[in-house]
Amino acid sequence: MAPPAKKQDTTSRARLSAVIKSARDIMRKDAGLNGDLDRLPLLSWLLFLRSFDALEAEREVFGEDPIIKPEYQWRAWADDETFTGAELLAFVNGKLLPELASMRSDVPGDPRNVLGQVFAGVQNRMLSGYLFRDLVNQIRSIDFNSSDDIHTMAFLYEDLLKQMRDAAGDSGEFYTPRPVIRFMVEQTFLKLGESIMDPACGTGGFLVEAYTELFPQATSKVLQQQLFNNIRGIEKKPLPFLLCMMNLTLHGIPSPKVLHANSLRVMIDEKGPGSQVDVILTNPPFGGEEEDSIAKSFPSGYQTRETAWLFLHAVIKKLKQGGRCAIVLPNGALFGEGIGAKIRKQLLEDCDLHTVVRLPQGVFAPYTQIPANLLFFDKTVPTKETWFYEITPPEGSRGYAKTRPMRYEEFESCAAWWGGPDRADRIENDRAWRVPIADLLASGFNLDLTNPNTTDDLSHRSPTDLLAELIETEQEVLSLLTSLQKDVEDR
């Protein structure tokens, strides 16, 4: 039976890839859309409405009332092929989108609140009602009642998100490479029934990976609903929030528990054990400055505008006693004096910082060359010792770039060394070393520690190697500029 299923998946993927390509070709013709940063949000909310209409049809089968008023449901206007041109645009811009954005409910979990959040900042930038009709007709061909179409569409949508990340430039701060996400989720050893949160969820990479990891264990409707409720996120920016909601919906979560809000404000304002979670997986924004009102809402002595430090402090408070966290932090958050040192001290005293994985430079290229680290800690007992593990580029490679990204296989040696949920039988080697808490305290809580087993620095490298690396870097820059030029010409 396996070969026919594989053939069916291949056919479905090829068909849906053609649909998406046609949709993007249509959008390229419209003067109101300027690149993928305009096209993908439009495609996302149309896909959202198409998939939501499938849920509405399912509700009708069970005799439940519709969420969206009949005249605004997808089938009422999208399936009427004579409804086009200026009349269609006037309806979408003047009636449909305002109606969806105004939806609210006082009932927790009501899909109206999801719709209201998703469409609060949505605008239709297409200028041609005839091209808009052509686009809608393409999306109508996707069958959201078919599990094959839903599964394949989710896969293709992730590919679209990656392409958007490549087009986002400076906006790429909310994307994390898939291998990094997968490794962090796997080494957190998630359990069904735990509340899992990403307070800077971007397009939902961590949440989708966590959901995918746990869904096979949810063997009943009750367990599935529990899992839906336990996957939670917060996202400040409207564009990634919209993409996240679509991403989670396509992966099977009918009413994603994602807030469109400033997560630092939410985490500081929410108090008490009921607001805490079991697991946090996140890559918070770093290198930026938070607004004064947010910084001043933090306790005295912890008030700073550096987002990485604010997030670390808030995450510690957000975890339940016994909870776990995996977080991406830049090198700059691991050393220095002042408030940063105070927050690191809090981390070591309130939590067991058991592992720091040091990533090589370029993992987040081309969006930033700032080296990053993965911190894993449990909110259980104070830290007694911290293990450091250095990930190095593959042999023969000097780093990473857009055309040469990090692969999941490069985490395999670290995963094998990890020692399972209990981190048993860890040993020091050329990549792993252990630092007792006394040494960390003596260093002023400095976590920016280099591998004591390596001597690979510039002084040990030949001029030939250094020149070759410089030439390679310049070639990568030229390649990126050429790609950018092509994107501009294609618009």
Q: What is the pLDDT of residue 174?
A: 44
| 56/114 Cα distance (integer angstroms) | 14
Contacts of 139 (CB under 8 A, 6+ apart): 19, 23, 43, 46, 47, 50, 78
In tens digits, what is the pLDDT along the chain, a chain of 491 residues? 333 334 444 557 788 888 888 999 999 999 999 888 788 889 889 988 988 888 888 888 888 889 999 999 999 999 999 999 999 999 999 999 999 999 998 887 788 888 898 898 899 999 999 999 999 999 998 887 666 676 677 767 777 777 666 555 444 344 788 899 999 999 999 999 999 999 999 889 999 999 999 999 999 999 999 999 999 999 988 878 888 888 888 788 888 999 988 999 999 888 777 789 999 999 998 766 777 888 888 888 888 888 888 999 999 999 999 999 999 998 888 988 888 899 999 999 999 999 999 998 878 765 667 789 999 999 999 999 999 999 988 776 666 766 778 889 999 999 999 999 999 999 999 999 999 999 999 999 999 998 998 765 554 455 655 665 567 567 656 755 665 565 455 55
213-230: pLDDT as tens digits: 999 999 999 999 999 999
Q: HSE (CB half, 13 Å, CA atoms) of 313?
A: 25
Report which residue type is found at 288: G
Q: To the nearest 10°, report the CA torsion of 359, 365, 368, 370.
A: 20
Nearest Cα residue to 46 out of 178, 147, 142, 170: 142
pLDDT at residue 224 in the model = 95
pTM: 0.81
Which is nearest to 212 in space by CA: 203, 220, 200, 204?
204
pLDDT of residue 222: 95
Full 3-state SS string of the chain: CHHHHHHHHHHHHHHHHHHHHHHHHHHHCCCCCCCHHHHHHHHHHHHHHHHHHHHHHHHHHCCCCCCCCHHHCHHHHCCCCCCCHHHHHHHHHHHHHHHHHCCCCCCCCCHHHHHHHHHCCCCCCCCCHHHHHHHHHHHHCCCCCCHHHHHHHHHHHHHHHHHHHHHHHHHHHHCCCHHHHHHHHHCCCCCCCCCEEECCCCCCHHHHHHHHHHHHHCCCHHHHHHHHHHEEEEECCHHHHHHHHHHHHHCCCCCCEEEECCHHHHHHHCCCHHHCEEEEEECCCCCCECCHHHHCCCCCCCCCCEHHHHHHHHHHHHEEEEEEEEEEEEHHHCCCCCHHHHHHHHHHHHCEEEEEEECCCCCCCCCCCCCEEEEEEECCCCCCEEEEEECCCCCCCCCCECCECCCHHHHHHHHHHHCCCCCCCCCCCCCEEEEEHHHHHHCCCCCCCCCCCCCCCHHHCCHHHHHHHHHHHHHHHHHHHHHHHHHHHHC
The rounded distance, in Å, linking the Cα atoms of 320 and 313 is: 14
Q: Is residue 129 within 8 Å of residue 87, measured between CB atoms?
A: yes
172, 402 Cβ separation under 8 angstroms: no
Q: Indicate the domain borders of the chain.
A: 2-142, 168-454, 459-490
- CATH 1.20.1260.30 given to domain 2-142: yes
Q: Is the peptide bond before 405 cis (omega within 30 degrees of 0)?
A: no
Burial class of 429 by CB neighbour count within 10 A (0 to 12, 13 to 18, 19+): exposed
Q: Which residues face 358 on adjacent strands?
A: 373, 390
Q: How far apart are CA 232 and CA 256, in angstroms?
A: 7
Residue 334 exposure: Cα atoms within 13 Å on the Cβ side: 21
Predicted pLDDT of residue 406 = 85
Say which residues have a Cβ less than 8 Å from residue 105's Cβ, sequence separation at least 6.
112, 113
- C-alpha to C-alpha distance for 390 and 186, rounded to whole angstroms: 18
> Cα-flanking dihedrals φ and ψ of residue 136, to 5°?
-60, -40
What's the CATH number of domain 168-454, 3.40.50.300, 3.40.50.150, 3.40.50.1820, 2.130.10.10? 3.40.50.150
Q: Terminal CA-to-CA distance of the chain, rounded, Å? A: 45
- Total count of residues recorded for the chain: 491
pLDDT number for residue 108: 75
- Strands 372-378, 432-436: pairing is unpaired
Each residue of 428-437: pLDDT tens digit? 999 999 999 9
Closest C-alpha to 143, from 6, 16, 56: 16
pLDDT at residue 374 in the model: 97
Q: Which residues pair with 259 in a beta bridge?
A: 234
Query: Do the beta carbons of residue 173 and residue 367 sit within 8 Å?
Result: yes
Half-sphere exposure of 233 (CA within 13 A, CB side): 37
Could you identify the residue written with the tokens 């990533």?
359
Residue with tokens 């900042």: 121
User: Which pLDDT belongs to residue 237?
Assistant: 84
Q: How far apart are CA 378 and CA 474, in angstroms?
A: 42
Plot region of 342 (φ>0 → left; ψ -120 to 50 → alpha; else → beta): alpha
